[in-house]
Amino acid sequence: MCGTCGCSDAGAQRNGNPGSADPHSHTVVLEQKVLARNDELAAANRAWLAERDLFAVNLMSSPGSGKTTLLERTIRELAAAVPVAVVEGDQETAFDAERIRATGCRAVQVNTGAGCHLDAAMVSGALRCLDPAQGSVVFVENVGNLVCPALFDLGEASRAVVTSVTEGADKPLKYPHMFRTADLVLVNKTDLLPYVDFDVDRFDEHLSRVNPNARVIRISATRGDGMPHWYAWLRDMVGGITGQTRGGCR
């Protein structure tokens, strides 16, 4: 359930408090309680991951940005260097988890129903089901949504936002909280730049206004452009993963 926006609650209109001078007061209190509890669970996830030398990346984006395609290629090209495990988040179906498993990698599907994001409790259960090998990279492919996922700490070490050139250069300004929380922004589908109206410089300018510290890497997950820079970022974050032979996906 999305306790902050009420997206999975058919009675979302009940969030107002008719006895209060401020009709939104109950909503604010609910949000604070939900996020506080989530942060406690995220801290527990972070400790669990650290104890096992696991590096977790929270991948967030709007639907159709190419997150799963990015993961498929990443897993195949990193398989000789590092074990990988994947938590897949979607409202329904196991399609993406099946695609990931087809690479030979372990994946757990988490279906949120009407919920629009993963939370720390969902990820906690998925991690224990996966039981990743020590030293693994754990990718959490969040539900496609540029709003609520940004609010919920999952216990990840880093956040990467995947956007595509088909979405428009104004996304950082329209969804500032998502881009403000990103450590890395991957601009995907650059092979389509000759065919779409996407101003790269304008996107960079908008992102710098929201988050001047975010690293930007332009990639084509289908053609392979820019992928070595993505792997280099992972290597820097994890500490030499591509220079070690630690086995492939479990």
pLDDT of residue 91: 95
pLDDT of residue 28: 59
Q: Cβ-count burial of 216 within 10 angstroms (0-12 exposed, 13-18 middle, 19+ buried)?
A: middle
Give all strands of the β-sheet with 55-61 in edge-to-edge order.
106-111, 84-90, 137-141, 55-61, 158-164, 184-188, 215-218
Q: Which helix (H) or strand (E) holds 188?
A: strand 184-188
pLDDT of residue 3: 55
pLDDT band at 4 (very low <50, low <70, confident <90, very high): low
* Residue 5 pLDDT > 50: yes
* Residue 24 pLDDT > 90: no
Higher-confidence residue of 249 and 82: namely 82
pLDDT in tens, 224-247: 999 999 999 998 998 844 344 333
- CA dist 49 → 11, 39, 58, 130 (Å): 36, 15, 13, 12
Higher-confidence residue of 29 and 98: namely 98
DSSP symbol at 133? P
Name 75's Cβ contacts closer than 8 Å, sequence gap at least 6.
Answer: 84, 86, 100, 103, 104, 105, 249
Kindly give the residue spans of alpha helices, DSSP state H, lying in the chain: 25-51, 67-78, 95-101, 120-130, 171-174, 176-180, 200-210, 227-238
pLDDT band at 26 (very low <50, low <70, confident <90, very high): low
CATH number of the 25-243 domain: 3.40.50.300
pLDDT of residue 30: 58
Higher-confidence residue of 25 and 88: namely 88
| 162 CB neighbour count, 10 Å cutoff | 26
Residues 3 and 18 sit within 8 Å (Cβ to Cβ)? no
SS3 sequence of 10-65: CCHHHHCCCCCCCCCHHHHHHHHHHHHHHHHHHHHHHHHHHHCCCEEEEEEECCCC
Per domain, the residue ranges of the chain are 25-243
pLDDT of residue 6: 59
Please give the full DSSP string across 168-182, using - where no structure is assigned: -TTHHHHSHHHHHT-
Average pLDDT over residues 125-134: 96
pLDDT of residue 248: 39
Average pLDDT over residues 33-48: 93
pLDDT in tens, 144-162: 999 999 999 999 999 999 9
